[in-house]
A = this chain, B = another copy of it.
Amino acid sequence: MKNKLDSILKQHNLDGLIALGGSAHNPAMYYLTNGASIGERSLFVKPRGRKGVLVVNAMERDEAGKSGLRVLDLHTIQVAALAGRPARVGTPARAQAQLLATILRQLGMTGRLALTGLQDAGFAAELVAQFNRGRFGSTIVYAPEVLSRAAVTKDAEEVARIKAVAAKTVAVVGDIQDFLGGHRAKDGVLVDKAGAPVTIGVVKARINLKLAEMGILDAEGGTIFAQGRDAGVPHSRGQADQALRLGETIVFDIFPAEPGGGYFYDFTRTWCLGYAPEPAQALYDDVRAIFDQVMGALKVNAPTSDYQRMTTDFFESRGHPTIASQPGTQEGYVHSLGHGIGLQVHEAPSLSVRSSERLTPGMVFTVEPGLYYPSRGLGVRLEDSVWLNPATKRFEVLAPYPLDLVVPVRKR
């Protein structure tokens, strides 16, 4: 949680934290500035034990003020940074390093500093090299875990926001299920009143419209609605021009967010329209069995890796290849069991075999076992997101929704 930042800085022997960039699609900056809507040239600086300071272009001052942080004017600091120097300070990275040094001097900040925020990788490398060469009394050191260790547990307000996105997400899923179930089939293909095939493109357009009605959006542009063979490739998005066919597995994985870089939800169901052929049902039954088993076995303080191992053990016992016995396999169980969600759709903790994390009160994470057989034309994944409620120590699914495989369609 954000209120642990100072203790995490202390544990890492850090004197402060710097973040760069705008708040949109820059989770670190969004997090540290409490979601203020600020532009790409913004800087955040926080001395350990003191409140952060936000430096923005004056045009952004109203929105920056909503951060609750002290706001400084970028232009004023630029003038100070240039005082006594030639007007040209070399490359943009060098100018940025001098700007940072000026801010730190004004704040009386020195020592070992962590740096975060999304930046062009080449620019960031040069900025740090220039800064550390500048002998400003501070050094930027590599401390990748400061922010992720804070953000890995969510406070009440964060959970409330994720829950709100969750409720909207399943409302959209419900609408889509009703939409599909309201159609009839012809020659094994879902058709509309005029007899025209219902395509994945039509479904996706409806998803986006319903998300907008709810005030959330597919920020990553990546909603998965993939059937048959494509359902067997975990991150295939599905093909817009494809008609929906009865009896094929459809993986529907949706991960919308609040507009402007806010909180995500992550949710997957697998559907068969009309009926489930035996191989699809059998695959579903295996995924459902381990899904239920994991959900029932979640325990406070348990290593997250235990659940990945539980999943690979179960799938192996059912005769499926998994990445435990066949690293790199593209058939069977091919990914880790889950991941944290928050301002990123994928963040800590990782429910993978290499993770050393434990299930900690305040964590919000996905549980998403799946089985994939592209060569046989099918795949199944089920995913709910879970919050470990610090008050009750219970694991709560943030938005319960039926897990059924078959979506009946109209008879005529």
Contact = CB atoms under 8 A, between A and B. Distances in A.
Contacts of A63: 235-237
A59 B220 contact: no
Contacts of A335: 59
A212 interface: yes
Contacts of A178: none
Given A208-B212, A334-B58, A122 B115 contact: yes
Contacts of A127: 121, 125
Contacts of A213: 209, 212
Nearest to A226: B62
Interface string A31-74: 00000010110000000000000000111111100000000010
A181 interface: no
Contacts of A219: 24-25, 219
A125 B120 contact: no
A142 B121 contact: no
A125 B128 contact: yes
A129 interface: yes
A346 B41 CA distance: 11
A329 to B, nearest CB: 9
B334 A59 contact: yes
A180 to B, nearest CB: 20
A20 B121 contact: yes
A144 B61 CA distance: 28
A233 B217 CA distance: 27
A328 B124 contact: no
A126 interface: yes
The residue in A126, A127, A261, A330 that gathers the most chain B C-beta atoms within 10 A of its C-beta is A126
A327 B259 contact: no
Interface string A122-150: 11111111000000000010111000000
Contacts of A75: 327-328
Contacts of A114: 122
Interface in A237-267: 237, 258-262
Nearest to A370: B59
A121 B115 contact: yes
Given A209-B212, A261-B221, A61 B233 contact: yes
Interface in A209-236: 209, 211-213, 215, 217-222, 230, 233-236
A205 interface: yes
A232 to B, nearest CB: 10
Contacts of A128: 121-122, 125, 129
